[in-house]
Chains A and B, each alone.
Chain A
Amino acid sequence: MNAIDRSHARSAAKLLSGNAACAQGAIDAGCSFFAGYPITPSSEIAERLSVLLPKAGGVFVQMEDEIAAMAAVIGASMGGVKALTATSGPGFSLKQENIGYAAGAEIPCVIVNVMRGGPSTGMPTRPSQADIFQTRYGSHGDYPIIVLAPASAREIYDETIRAFDLAEICRTPVVLLYDQVIAQSSETVALGGRPPVHATRKWASGPRDSYKPYAAGDDGVPPMPRPGDGYRTHTTGLTHSESGFPSQDPETVTRNLGRLYAKLEKHRDLIDSYEAVRCEDADVVIVAIGISARAARRAVDACRADGHKVGLFRPITLWPFPEIALREATKTAKAILVPELNIGQLRLEIERQLRDRRVEGLHLISGEPITPAQIAAAATKLATGV
């Protein structure tokens, strides 16, 4: 499990949708800037933050389009504040160029993508899990990114806070990825008071003359210059040297991009998060995220009641994928089942990681969630070898 301490006092239960839990999580994480553009099924996050942020001394702005919203979030973060935007698949596509900028220029920010059916405008009010690859590979070029995939309103609250922490600690964009069902269903959630915020940005300090904005220590994360502190640095989306100025020197370019990947690897103990349910002796392990994982959890109980050894592995951190934990959770499994609301995105990743194993997919693209019964039937079939 992740090492960020998420323990804080629980208060009385509230009825909250996933999107409302996200907005509250952002406030409790210390977010003070939101820029967005309305899109179903994410708009409730913006609507709620338009109320909460000004009260908390922050700024809410509805920008002219999705691209502007992402740009404004990066601009605010460059100014030194914790910033958030929320969108859905079509808007997330539009944000991709600037997400790549944030990854390359190392600007912390959080982007919520509430998945809906696609492609294109698709099904705005129907769930989907078809943006899994877009979160990881959507922007051009090579870049690493952190993607968190919570599966309940309570977990959205926690993971929103963790997303801000990871963004600040690793100086990177973090995507919070969940589906329409979890976003818009209301659940009873016991939130704490304001939890401790563990991560504050590492700001540049020390002599200004010798300061290099992209010179990193052992953790691979360079301290960030805050405008007004006198460092007068240059930030660019071009490949750059430690000085921050553009460079196409092969060695410099290679070293810098390598550091971006390495800095996430160095923080894997903070980043990796997952849930493994009854995997110790499982013949079949179901791997799922979001609403499909909720259904799979029920399917595990149903299969176990029928005497079949079925378990569930649920990556909460989707990228970088917690592959060591996956291998541990599936060591007794004869087959892996991947139920998801797409034609096989998570399955492809699991197949890539467990190349010597039997991996089956259960894919639904109708705009409806997969039921526990559908998953239980597929898992039973694998468990009994029928």
Chain B
Amino acid sequence: MTAEPTGAEPTGTETTGSKGTIRVVQLYPRDMNIYGDWGNALVLKRRIGWHGYTPELLEYNVGDEFPADVDIILGGGGQDSGQLVIQDDLHSRAGNLTELAEDGAPMLVICGLYQLFGRFFKTRTGSVIPGIGILDVETHGTDERLIGNVKVATAEFGEVLGYENHSGQTTLGSGVRPLGTVAKGTGNNSSDGHEGARFRNIVASYLHGSLLPKNPAIADFLIRTAAERKYGTFVPGTPDDHYAALAREHAARRPR
């Protein structure tokens, strides 16, 4: 945990380390991080602390040794070129990731890694990039680029707010359910009004913005699930979310 900075007022209630460690692994931050994915990592790191656990933040890049005792997996967006760079390495880790997913480890995969966690990404030119198939979804490249502010209604996390920028369109198979229904924006594709996917404890989404800062309910779902899986129980702290509430209110009013 970062030492308390001089002159800063503490934000949130922090009782670091009293309840155990939660280990977060970022997948491919070097190549898959285009839309503020660091924000998702930072939010987990701080909130784990604010809930009274000790965060451990690890990076996994192409060629690294896969970390042991993973509690939360984070996967970011990236450009098409970044997907090509990580593709082979990701396939070599499909076993580790599938095992973790089946075991109920919480994961957040955004945009590029959402697509590659699915069955395949067929590009506009017809070439097929195989995914690792943890999620029963498929993605097709299009000439249309879906860009702008998004508002999604979800049963689990309430209203989810973010920003989308993708040309791949994803459709869900019967093995997953959507994260929610789009109220503003486009979401997975331009036809069915769905955004994101939910499977076991995986949250997959096209929204960045970053997703977690303005949607602390999803951050806390990942932390709670990790704590329960590791320690059998989750004892929450009391993070101060009043700026998050104001930022949400404001974001909901911004034009597309």
Do they bind each other? no
Q: Which residues of B contact A (CB under 8 A)?
A: none
Q: Which residues of A contact B (CB under 8 A)?
A: none
